[in-house]
Structure 1
Amino acid sequence: MNWITNYVRPRINSMLGRREVPENLWIKCPETGEMVFHKDLEENLWVIPASGYHMKMPAKDRLRTLFDNGQYESLPQPKVAQDPLKFRDSKKYSDRLRDSRAKTDAEDTINAGVGKVKGLKLVAIVHDFNFIGGSLGIAAGEAIIKAFERAIAEKCPVVMFPASGGARMQEGILSLMQLPRTTVAVNMLKEAGLPYIVVLTNPTTGGVTASYAMLGDIHLAEPGAEIGFAGKRVIEQTLREKLPEGFQTSEYLLEHGMVDMVVRRHDIPDTLARLLKILMKKPVDGVREEIDRAPASADPAPKAEAAE
């Protein structure tokens, strides 16, 4: 036992009125190095005010700020097998699950909810990157499928917010099987005639990109998001070539036709509502409902008389 550290120093601090300051009060912008007070960052939807850099956003905060008045029905997490392969690397997979649940207060990486965005009912599915890198496993796959089934039952569209490093290696082939399963769920929604929009966030990579993240009717992306299958470093080592500046960013993909729009986080609810109303043939705010019709044509010319 260290007597000075454990007894003397705390006594001196208490006498002098010193208080321990939490380490996460100030957050550093990865782009400019600017320090931002965490409350200001949260109020600005986790976007650095000066630089506009989009930080990773907690899944529950995204759902709350997406739906009107922050009100929505949270969809339950389906019960699935835990640690089916009894996997262990530097620590047990069951311990990783326990630690991630304590950290995020969620059962797994997928958070889904039903609510209204600008008056339009929809199902939103959000990856939480803080839960084992947003990786796709059995629980996440099942939650996604159940959310699509709920949307089909409610006859409403689905909006997906992926943020993932890909399939969850601790579940092996069982994780990879979620890719075709979720693809089938997307096809079921489209067969029901309901829209599916994907909002790509930072990062969206691996098997998630190779499946439902690139199957939307429309693809939006947040500024500066990393989007791809393999990482930039892996590609450069494989090709032995230097990749272009900004490769695999939202803006690069927009320029090359892989993304339809790059949208600031603050504008996402309005943009989604407008696009979905157009896709579902509903009146759009600010757009005239009446359709301009061409003027009625004059009476058709009389048929030529038959030659006698």
Structure 2
Amino acid sequence: MNPLGWPGYDDQLRRARERTGSAESVSWRRDGDAVVVAFDFRFLGGSVGTAAGAVIEEAFGEARTRGLPVVSSIATGGSRMQEGMLSLRQLQRVARLCATHRAAGLPHVSVLRDPTTGGLWASLGAGADVVVGVEGAQVGFAGRRVRPEDGPAYTAEGQFAAGVVDLVVPEDAVAGLVRRLLPLLAGGSAVPAEVPRALGAVDLPADGWSAVERARSTTRPRAARYLDDYFEDRIPLSGDRAGGVDPGLLCGIGRRHGRSVVYIAQTGTATTPAGYRTASRLIRLAGRLALPVLTLVDTPGAANDSAAERAGVGAAIAELFGVVAEARVPITTLVVGEGGSGGALALSAPEHTWIAPDAYFSVIAPELAAAILKRGDVRELTNDLRLRPQDLVRLGVVRGIAEP
């Protein structure tokens, strides 16, 4: 096809077909229980025109008919110049295919090979449920010939640091990762996730300050230990897809007793706006795939410095409250350490929250409550706040105390 009558384009297509043995820059195939869309960069730089767009549409149509996930293995320079605006409009075509696939509750995984640039990165690549980058791959909206500079921002690692890529792995690890990932994304169930067992202290605190001290102890089990104990296998997912990553939040999908569970776990630090936006993204993903959610609460509170305010911490928390309220899948919460104010409550299921014996949940950190109320007796104030696990059960704030 040469819709613009571009001089020499017919010869370019002929040579590309002879060189690659393929009819176009994109092909698709059934690979087990998935449809794989594969790009060949040797074919005119993996560029996409109208014929390549038709191939992608055929692949997504097959996946939707068969109820299968799509894996997009991408290596492209973007739109094909020789087809002008007809080529650029394929981005809208691809976006519609991805949206229809999501609406059907089917997973989409993109693998970003070297290079992944231009409009296909901004549609097929970045729009997937899970985005996997290959180590060292050039990844960016602007290709090397048109961007004003070069640097780490235009790599898979740079996109991971910016919260746009979930994982970065070596080329030889991609196939194994996808084989592990696809079963975790499939087979959703509306049954709530089980409450994790308590891994720390089993006795209850005698007073409020004891509860606070135990929750703040450096020897108390943290989120990573709980996740290791709970799941047989898990794959981390990272980033808010808006330029941010919170290293104090562990997110991903794990397998427990043959069932997939989406997890979101605070690790004891103040949660940033990027962390709350990441949590919202994961809960929405769980809703689309019909997967239950497990949240582990452990934070002194939301980040409240000027950087957090500029990044929209209030709006990010408000969004997460709304996402939890509207969730179409069950959310199970265990408070495993500090439950500090709204920054902790945002990750808590309204009716399905439990607490570990060595944790507490409070309207605000005791020291901050003392400052607000102009009281100097912080230890006594912790008793007035009724923040111990047994107090919270009596108040109806939590459903119960986790058992070992």
Same fold (TM over 0.5): yes
**Which 4+ runs in 1 deviate beyond 4 A?**
282-288, 290-294
Q: How big is each residue's C-alpha offset from its partner over 1:65-114, in whole Å with a ceiling of 9 and x where there is no partner?
A: xxxxxxxxxxxxxxxxx1122101xxx10000000000000000012100
Give the match's secondary structure for 2:154. Answer: coil
Percent identity, aligned pairs only? 37
Counterpart code for 1:214: A
What are the within-5 Å matches in structure 2 for residues 203-242 of structure 1? 203-232=115-144, 234-236=146-148
Which of the two has greater strand per residue? 2
What are the within-5 Å matches in structure 2 for residues 147-226 of structure 1? 147-226=59-138
Q: Compute the displacement of 1:115 (Å).
A: 1.9
Could you tell me which residue of structure 2 aligns to residue 19 of structure 1? none
Q: Out of 135, 146, 156, which is 2:47 matched to?
A: 135
What are the within-5 Å matches in structure 2 for residues 53-202 of structure 1? 82-88=1-7, 92-116=8-32, 121-202=33-114
Count, aligned residues:
204
Q: How big is each residue's C-alpha offset from its partner over 1:260-306, in whole Å with a ceiling of 9 and x where there is no partner?
A: 10012222222112222112137998655168999xxxxx99xxxxx
Give the match's secondary structure for 1:211. Answer: helix
**In 1: Cα distance, 2:80 partner to 2:145 partner:** 20
**In 1: Cα distance, 2:140 partner to 2:75 partner:** 11
Distance 1:233 1:102, change over 3 A: closer
**In 2: Cα distance, 1:94 partner to 1:235 partner:** 29
Could you tell me which residue of structure 1 aligns to residue 316 of structure 2? none
- The answer to whether the aligner puts 1:261 opposite 2:167 as a matched pair is yes
Q: Out of 175, 182, 186, which is 1:276 matched to?
A: 182
TM-score by length of 2: 0.47
| Unaligned segments of structure 1, at least 5 residues | 1-81, 237-241, 295-299, 302-308
The question of whether the paired residues in 1 share the 8 Å contact of 2:25 and 2:40 is answered with: yes
Give the match's secondary structure for 2:76. Answer: coil
Give the match's secondary structure for 1:107. Answer: coil
| Unaligned segments of structure 2, at least 5 residues | 190-230, 234-254, 260-293, 295-331, 333-353, 355-392, 395-404
TM-score by length of 1: 0.61
**In 2: Cα distance, 1:94 partner to 1:252 partner:** 38
**In 2: Cα distance, 1:157 partner to 1:256 partner:** 26
Q: Compute the displacement of 1:210 (Å).
A: 2.2
